[in-house]
Structure 1
Amino acid sequence: MYPINRADDPDVWSRLVDSDDAIVTQVDDGKLDEDGTGTFPTSSSSALAVMDAMLGLLDVHHGTDVLEIGTGTGYNAALIAERAAPGHVTTIEMDEKIARHARTVLARTGLPVTVVTGDGALGYAENAPYERVICTASALRVPYAWVEQTRPGGKIVLPLVAGFDECQAFACLTVGDDGTARGRCHGSTGFMRLRNQRNDRALWRVYSPESAAYYDEEPDGVQITTTQIYHPEPFADFETGFAFGARLPDWVTGLRADGIMLLSHYASGSWATIVPGTDVHKVYHQGPRHLWDELEATYRWWIGTGQPDHTRFGLIVTPEGQTFWLDTPDQVISSVQQPAA
């Protein structure tokens, strides 16, 4: 990626700003190469249609107090504040430079917005409780702080990562009197991850025909088995990937261009690498969980439940953890604990 400077390319800059497309506004957390280029997008201004969809789910009215996680340019916060006034909007941004810029441009609007520099996963208790919380970065888990800081009956809207191949859908949750948040998934999307949820760690080893270990037994406990089944569907289709991710939380996965499938579950120290063949496929795996067996079981579950799309999934967030369910809350398909404080 290369930067576009307003002073150097005013016409290109204006076309981008006036377009309906998403615009990357920072890469590599601001740590650019010497020539100003970068690789990994770390902040952006969402497409207008995406902002509109999220604000529709958020359902902000006059006088609503709102917390936004992920300030970015401040444009979305301004849209919220226009709808919420005379309610107050608090927006929190982890990157100090981005927050400083947003604070400056929002001050010019005169809208009731407080820009805070800090970790959005912690919310902002000083201005709580809120009637609405919106996150403009994707999350693997809904931080319970957001639930704690939302009034009963209030809403939380965020892009939720089901975990498999970065498939994301909007989650719209309502906070109850019992301190839980419940809701369903709506619409596919794609957002950059919350910074404190970006540290996915993979354990797998990559085997290829050029690797000697591709043919030989491993000496350190790696098991080698074979299968006649190969399931690339979760990597090729959003609905399949979201369903698999909801049932297999906390996995890190990948599919290489040569078809080699990579599965990893860091908490249990388990991984699997599947190398496709013509009729028989090699499975290398290690750890207490046999991830390939779990993937096969999930494929059978997916077929048996009618290949559910993302709208059939819902979520419950409690002080103890996060639970995915299918169709109704009593059909729990996976649970994960809240991270330790």
Structure 2
Amino acid sequence: MTTPNVATSERIAIRGLLGAVNADLETPMRPEWERAAWNVPRSAFVPERIFLGDGLEPCNRADAPETWLRAVYANDSVVTQINDGQDPDDGERWASSSASAPSIVFRMLHMLDVRDGHRVLEIGTGTGWNAGLLAHVAGPGNVTTVEVDPALAAEAGERLRKKGVTADVVTGDGAEGHTGNAPYDRLVATCSVRSVPRPWLTQVKPGGVILTPWESPWVCYGLLRMTVDDTGAASGPFSPHSAFMLMRNQRTDLRIYRDVVRDDHQPDESTTDLPPWRVSGDDLAVQFAVGLLLRDVWWTWHDNPDVEGVASRLWVATTDATSWAAVDWDGKSDDRFTVWQHGPRPLWNEVEAAHAWWRLHDRPDPERFGLSVTATGESAWLDSPDQPVPVTG
């Protein structure tokens, strides 16, 4: 493939990508972001080897250039690292870093409202593409980006240098931010958090913006946009977008039979008329609300659990593995389910109460919720900060 053909293919791909992104956004992209997309092309930042499909099979640019280019300029995320960079051999593969879908990248850049001269702190460098876009608009030397993985940081720094982008790439824990170039006008995270790291508050100017993907153990969903006030506190609303990998220092690795349920547990038996899929299905609004109210509870489905009369079982457990519940569906009835609960907290009762609260408040979408954060704590709210939600856990 000759260089002119590659250049032509890329021009076509960029035009197509910008069209797809604009179709996804409520308002057209600002001209400066379109210029950034042309001047800081995504292909210059996605690594030569990516991982495709549910099986995360490797795709090397040298071996499959057309497949690689299609993946790079699709309006979708691209997995760029698996298993924290370790060789999985024949074991389980899981995504540990990715290039986010361009539509969410530009949606977040729009929400961040970066202007020329703004000092920006990015948490999670990844490939470096987002930092390159930010630097193109904020200006040379105004972007600091922090990456916990030394190899990813080094690779991103090299890509930025090759494109002539001046940005400060720092290897470190993003939860600590970076005091060296503070204070910042904007802080943006490209990984989700379950709790806002307090150092972020102290490193952003009053009136500055913090934008981060959000996750609860219940569901990974939502963007949180907060404004910092004169006291160093921050508050702002959620929006219903995104699903990002969790910040590494906030990860949990729990499995029901390995970490939670024990042979000597004697659970209490009861029944419920709340279908378990009602709080764990396609309705992300209710999942988001349950996740805000039950901040330390997660779930997993177990189909065909090899239990007589049980077609599917929903497991619910606390992140400290001290309480659990199981809700059984017999494959027939849709209005009566058997519940088993063990531990100091009756978890399914808590789930029922959270669902009832959500219904009582007119089934609010994520946009009606917000979060306020101070140096000593954080509180979720509905519609306004003076209406806190009843958080458990």
Cα 1:206–1:107 shift into 2, 3 Å? closer
Aligned equivalent of 2:243: 190
Give the counterpart of 2:302 among 249, 252, 256. Answer: 256
Tell whether the 8 Å contact from 1:204 to 1:263 is kept in structure 2 after alignment: no
Specify which of 47, 57, 60 is matched with residue 5 of structure 1.
60
Secondary structure in 1 matching 2:224:
strand
Secondary structure, aligned partner of 1:242:
helix
SS state of the match for residue 50, structure 1? helix
In structure 2, give the amino acid aligned to 1:291.
L
Equivalent of residue 244 in structure 1, options 277, 290, 309: 290
Aligned partner (choices 155, 163, 173) of residue 109 of structure 1:
163
In 2, the alpha carbon distance for the partners of 1:336 and 1:124 equals 32
Could you tell me which amino acid in structure 1 is paired with residue 149 of structure 2? D
Aligned runs of 1:289-328 on 2, under 5 Å?
A: 289-328=345-384
Amino acid at match of 2:275: Y
1:123 partnered with 2:177: yes
Superimposed CA distance per residue, residues 254-282 of structure 1 (whole angstroms, 9 cap, x where no aligned partner): 23344311111234822111112436422
Select the structure with the greater relative contact order (CA < 8 A; seq sep ≥ 6).
1
Letter in 1 for 2:232: G
Amino acid corresponding to residue 380 of structure 2 in structure 1: F
TM-score w.r.t. length of structure 2: 0.77
**Residue type at the aligned position of 1:60:** V
Pick which of 104-113 and 145-154 moved more. Answer: 104-113
Which deviates the most, 268-277 or 242-251? 268-277
- The answer (yes or no) to whether the contact 1:239–1:309 under 8 Å persists in 2 is yes
User: What is the number of residues matched between the two proteins?
Assistant: 326
Partner amino acid for 2:326? T
Counterpart of 2:13 in structure 1 is none
Task: Give the match's secondary structure for 1:61.
Answer: coil
**Pair 139,286 (structure 1): closer, same or farther in 2 beyond 3 Å:** same
Cα RMSD, aligned residues only: 2.4
- Note the C-alpha offset of 1:288: 1.7
Question: Where in structure 1 are there 5+ consecutive unaligned residues?
Answer: 208-212
Q: Report the AA paired with residue 154 of structure 1.
A: G
For 1:66-105, list aligned pairs within 5 A: 66-86=120-140, 88-105=142-159
Q: Distance in 1 between matches of 2:241 and 2:389?
A: 20
Q: Secondary structure at the match of 1:264?
A: strand
1:18 to 73, 83, 89: 73
Deviates more, 1:273-282 or 1:63-72: 273-282
Q: TM-score, with normalisation over the residues of structure 1?
A: 0.89
Counterpart of 1:210 in structure 2 is none
Correspondence for 2:82: 27
What is the distance in 2 between the residues matched to 1:206 and 1:146?
A: 33
- Cα distance between partner residues in 1 of 2:266 and 2:211: 44
Q: Distance in 1 between matches of 2:102 and 2:264?
A: 54
Q: Give the counterpart of 1:158 among 202, 209, 212.
A: 212
Structure 1 range deviating more: 87-96 or 270-279 = 270-279
Greater fraction helix: 2
- Name the residue aligned to 1:137: 191
